[in-house]
């Protein structure tokens, strides 16, 4: 098992930026598939971004493409989500997730990941 801890959330004005971090401990390594999801009150958990270790592909939801960037630092066992040009509709709890065996068809689905962080709140408001 790998333990995930997110940080970096907070309150930001529309148009602002935040960088979320997710640090792994336990059974860490470079063989994980990673993802960020978010969940707003009363809504289902929504895919934001994902990184597949096979081919090193990165995927983004259409709603964040061009504004959010996934990155990782293997030496720190940490993945990041750089969020720019934030909008009020980006307000949600953001979760990182990891799994060794995510199948391609579940890359954008929470079912594809067994390991989750506790979430970090992002609020975009003026």
| Cβ-Cβ contacts under 8 Å for 48 (sequence gap 6 or more) | 35, 36, 37, 38, 60, 61, 64, 68, 81, 94
- Rounded CA-CA distance 119/97 in Å is 10
Q: What is the pLDDT of residue 55?
A: 82
pLDDT in tens, 85-94: 999 999 999 9
pLDDT in tens, 100-117: 999 999 999 999 999 999
Dihedral of alpha carbons 85, 87, 93, 97, sign: negative
Q: What is the pLDDT of residue 73?
A: 93
Q: What is the pLDDT of residue 31?
A: 87
| Cβ-Cβ contacts under 8 Å for 42 (sequence gap 6 or more) | none
| Cβ-Cβ contacts under 8 Å for 88 (sequence gap 6 or more) | 14, 124, 125
Q: What is the pLDDT of residue 28?
A: 78
pLDDT in tens, 28-68: 777 899 999 999 999 999 999 999 988 889 999 999 999 99
Q: What is the pLDDT of residue 48?
A: 98
């Amino acid at each position: 098992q790998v333990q995930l801890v997110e940080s970096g959330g907070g309150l930001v004005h529309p148009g602002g930026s935040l960088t979320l971090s997710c640090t792994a401990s336990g059974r860490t390594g470079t063989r994980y598939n990673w993802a960020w999801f978010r969940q707003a009150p009363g809504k289902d958990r929504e895919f934001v971004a994902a990184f597949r270790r096979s081919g090193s592909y990165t995927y983004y939801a259409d709603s964040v493409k061009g504004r959010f960037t996934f990155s990782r630092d293997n030496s720190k066992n940490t993945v990041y989500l750089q969020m720019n040009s934030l909008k009020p509709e980006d307000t949600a709890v953001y979760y990182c997730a990891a799994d060794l065996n995510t199948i391609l068809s579940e890359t954008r689905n929470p079912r594809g990941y067994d390991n989750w962080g506790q979430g970090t709140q992002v609020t975009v408001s003026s």
